[in-house]
Chains A and B, each alone.
Chain A
Amino acid sequence: MEFVVCVKQVPNTTEVKIDPETNTLIRQGVPSIVNPFDKNAVEAALRLREQHGGKVTVISMGPPQAEEALRECLAMGADEAILVSDRAFAGADTLATSYTLATAIEKMGHFDLIICGKQAIDGDTAQVGPELAEHLDIPQATYASKIEIADGNVRIEREHEEGIEVLETRLPLLISVVKSINEPRLPTVKGTMKASRKAIVLWTVNDLAVDHARLGLKGSPTQVVRIFTPKQRTQGKLIQKDTARAAVLELLGNLADAKLV
């Protein structure tokens, strides 16, 4: 079976801090990582490959440095990696990104299952997966916490507000996965060394059959016009007492006064 996993290299946003004096983002020293949910996607593909055989190809659209992220996926055990990178793709929003990825996946030829992480931790949009499925005209199952394939039938458990939804569908298909689906494996030393020597396929705009008007910034309906730091909630009352009971009683008293409890 042919598995395609879409990955994104992202800044580790959990390590980003705001400079309290200038109220701006301190980006220095923030490492670039493989989007954590995408690692779950790679792991899911590797496990399915172990069960059903086939090939796992990881694909990323991004700047040349995104190669590092692809190598990490190769080290985990992916068979091939494709980097889609060109100045022409710069400034793409989710629609232009998903369009570009769709043309790249079409160029790859046959695929059975595309797996994505539920969202990227820098943008948190969760849009590229479904938009990609739409461009490719294949069904989708988002927020999957379990995937089982048998005779071309796919059974998916989906994390939902109301509980776990069990869906059944067929290949080809796009699935986006949540954190609880698996624990991504660590690459081995041999896997890492092999990955660092492996060639990564680079596709530029000239390699893809694309409508240039749908690429990058020009092909992006949405535009970021302003970036600012979020408004902070204001600090209220800090209760510091000698005993836990005194503190709790004061809190409950305050809440009662404010008619909250």
Chain B
Amino acid sequence: MQFSLTAEQKMLLQMVREFAARAIAPSVAERDENEHFSRELFNSLTELGVAGICFPESYGGADGDTLSYILVVEELSRVDDGLGITLSADVSLAGWPIFQYGSEEQKKKFLAPIAEGSKMGAFALTEPNAGTDAAAQQTTAIDAGDCYVLNGSKIFITNAGEAETYIVFAMTDKSKGIKGMSAFIVEKNTPGFTFGKKEHKLGIRTSVTMELVFQDCRIPKANLLGKEGDGFKIAMATLDGGRIGVAAQALGIAQAALDHAIKYSKERVQFGKPISHNQAIAFMLADMATQIEAARLLTYRAAYLKDMGLPYAKEAAMAKMFASDAAMSVTTDAVQIFGGYGYSREYPVERLMRNAKITQIYEGTNQVQRMVISSALLRDSK
């Protein structure tokens, strides 16, 4: 068993840490306050090649592994997890399905710009009536001979409005149920494709979330991802990988909360001594650190399995579920350690607590993760 990072991974982390400290950290509180996604900032990040880490060089990537990419999402999320999830949606949810299921032409045309950072991707599955029940899609794609015609809407779409490339799921044949779902690559500015309302959110306010609306939107046939009917399979496989990204986001949030809590507890003096001298506080720190470390091992192992070409759906679900629960618990404790100051916007821990919540919800609620894990367990033990 190997528990140490490679020299390459350490250098990548160092690089991201420096960038985050220099370019991202100074404005994070302000962007959160104003609910502002900075495309400029995201571009300066992807221009460094961060979105291409785990894609081959032939598609504009750096030929690295999933673990390296996951480490970067975690490190980024320590400073600004809104940007962390923006990157995760860009890479895991848009770049990866193109890489995995796209034709050579699609990879050259749509993946390379994402990997190189000149374009941004998004993933559109959720609908008002198709959340956890993803198969209940109402968006349709009708074969019109030379193209598909898309009608319907998607909600809660991360990166919407900003992204240039969207992976959109729609029913090509409702009669076939989930086997009638297909995946399409839809470019921004395609006629009939517009954006609805911008979501105002509790957390991850430095990322952007919007509604997508398709009205007789004509998609070239060349933009069908995989075959007709592959949609549900593509969506589920993509989410398996995306969950490792969410786990990394949760890890970053939790680690940041712990770092702040340790520092504060050593500086805050009550009854004539730093509050860290109280066992009640010190033990909270111990529990927080242990949860984080356990979450980290689950997360890294899921990434490792993916890199090894081994099945990872169950492990990714475990990592996402455990890490997001850990993030919620650790950030809540951090706010508690800060006391009244923790509840105030003057300190960053309240933001971390708000941001942690979403990691228990998106890319499959933690209840869905339990379904994934338990069905894998019961299937494997047949």
B8 in complex: contacting residue of A72, A186, A188, A197, CB < 8 Å? A197
Question: Are B7 and A192 within 8 A (Cβ)?
Answer: no
Interface string of A183-212 (1 = CB under 8 A from B): 000111110110111000000000000000
How far does the alpha carbon of A188 sit from the alpha carbon of B117 in the complex, in Å? Answer: 12
Question: Are A192 and B8 within 8 A (Cβ)?
Answer: yes
- Count residues on chain A whose CB falls below 8 Å from chain B CBs: 13
Question: Are A188 and B19 within 8 A (Cβ)?
Answer: no
Question: Are B11 and A75 within 8 A (Cβ)?
Answer: yes
Whole-angstrom distance between the Cβ of B281 and the nearest chain A Cβ: 21
Q: Is A71 an interface residue (CB 8 A)?
A: yes
B53 neighbours in A (Cβ, 8 Å):
189
A188 neighbours in B (Cβ, 8 Å):
47-49
Question: Are A75 and B15 within 8 A (Cβ)?
Answer: yes
Whole-angstrom distance between the Cβ of B74 and the nearest chain A Cβ: 15
Given contacts A72-B14, A75-B15, contact A190 B7 (CB under 8 A): no
Q: Which of A's residues lie within 8 Å of B, judged by CB?
A: 71-72, 75, 186-190, 192-193, 195-197
A-B contact list, 10 entries, CB within 8 Å? A75-B11, A186-B19, A186-B22, A187-B48, A189-B49, A189-B62, A189-B64, A192-B8, A192-B11, A197-B8
Q: Is B234 an interface residue (CB 8 A)?
A: no
How far does the alpha carbon of A193 sit from the alpha carbon of B57 in the complex, in Å? Answer: 12
Q: Is B259 an interface residue (CB 8 A)?
A: no
Question: Are A189 and B14 within 8 A (Cβ)?
Answer: no
Given contacts A75-B15, A186-B15, A187-B15, contact A193 B48 (CB under 8 A): no
Shortest 9 CB-CB contacts between residues of A and residues of B: A189-B49, A196-B8, A188-B49, A189-B62, A188-B48, A190-B62, A192-B11, A196-B11, A196-B7
Whole-angstrom distance between the Cβ of B17 and the nearest chain A Cβ: 10
Tell me the residues in window 109-124 of chain B with beta carbons closer than 8 Å to chain A beta carbons.
Answer: none
Q: Which of B's residues lie within 8 Å of A, judged by CB?
A: 6-8, 11-12, 14-15, 18-19, 22, 47-50, 52-53, 62-64
Whole-angstrom distance between the Cβ of B378 and the nearest chain A Cβ: 41
A197 neighbours in B (Cβ, 8 Å):
8
CB closest residue in chain A, given B13? A192
B7 neighbours in A (Cβ, 8 Å):
71, 196
How far does the alpha carbon of A71 sit from the alpha carbon of B12 in the complex, in Å? Answer: 11
Of A71, A186, A192, most buried by chain B (CB within 10 Å of CB) is A192
Question: Are B18 and A186 within 8 A (Cβ)?
Answer: yes
Question: Are A189 and B8 within 8 A (Cβ)?
Answer: no
Question: Are B19 and A195 within 8 A (Cβ)?
Answer: no
How far does the alpha carbon of A72 sit from the alpha carbon of B7 in the complex, in Å? Answer: 11
B12 neighbours in A (Cβ, 8 Å):
189, 192-193
Question: Are B63 and A193 within 8 A (Cβ)?
Answer: yes
Question: Are B15 and A192 within 8 A (Cβ)?
Answer: yes
How far does the alpha carbon of A195 sit from the alpha carbon of B9 in the complex, in Å? Answer: 12
How far does the alpha carbon of A72 sit from the alpha carbon of B14 in the complex, in Å? Answer: 9
CB closest residue in chain A, given B72? A189
How far does the alpha carbon of A196 sit from the alpha carbon of B7 in the complex, in Å? Answer: 6
How far does the alpha carbon of A192 sit from the alpha carbon of B63 in the complex, in Å? Answer: 12
Question: Are A190 and B49 within 8 A (Cβ)?
Answer: yes
How far does the alpha carbon of A192 sit from the alpha carbon of B11 in the complex, in Å? Answer: 7
How far does the alpha carbon of A195 sit from the alpha carbon of B11 in the complex, in Å? Answer: 9
Question: Are A189 and B63 within 8 A (Cβ)?
Answer: no
B50 neighbours in A (Cβ, 8 Å):
189
B62 in complex: contacting residue of A71, A72, A186, A193, CB < 8 Å? A193
CB closest residue in chain B, given A186? B19
How far does the alpha carbon of A193 sit from the alpha carbon of B48 in the complex, in Å? Answer: 12
| Besides the known contacts A193-B63, A197-B8, 6 further A-B residue pairs in the complex with CB atoms under 8 A apart | A72-B14, A75-B11, A186-B18, A190-B52, A192-B11, A196-B7
How far does the alpha carbon of A189 sit from the alpha carbon of B87 in the complex, in Å? Answer: 14
Whole-angstrom distance between the Cβ of A30 and the nearest chain B Cβ: 15
CB closest residue in chain B, given A183? B22
Whole-angstrom distance between the Cβ of A16 and the nearest chain B Cβ: 16
Whole-angstrom distance between the Cβ of A5 and the nearest chain B Cβ: 19
How far does the alpha carbon of A195 sit from the alpha carbon of B10 in the complex, in Å? Answer: 12
Whole-angstrom distance between the Cβ of A43 and the nearest chain B Cβ: 14
CB closest residue in chain A, given B14? A72
How far does the alpha carbon of A192 sit from the alpha carbon of B50 in the complex, in Å? Answer: 11
How far does the alpha carbon of A75 sit from the alpha carbon of B19 in the complex, in Å? Answer: 14
How far does the alpha carbon of A97 sit from the alpha carbon of B255 in the complex, in Å? Answer: 41
CB closest residue in chain A, given B8? A196
B14 neighbours in A (Cβ, 8 Å):
72
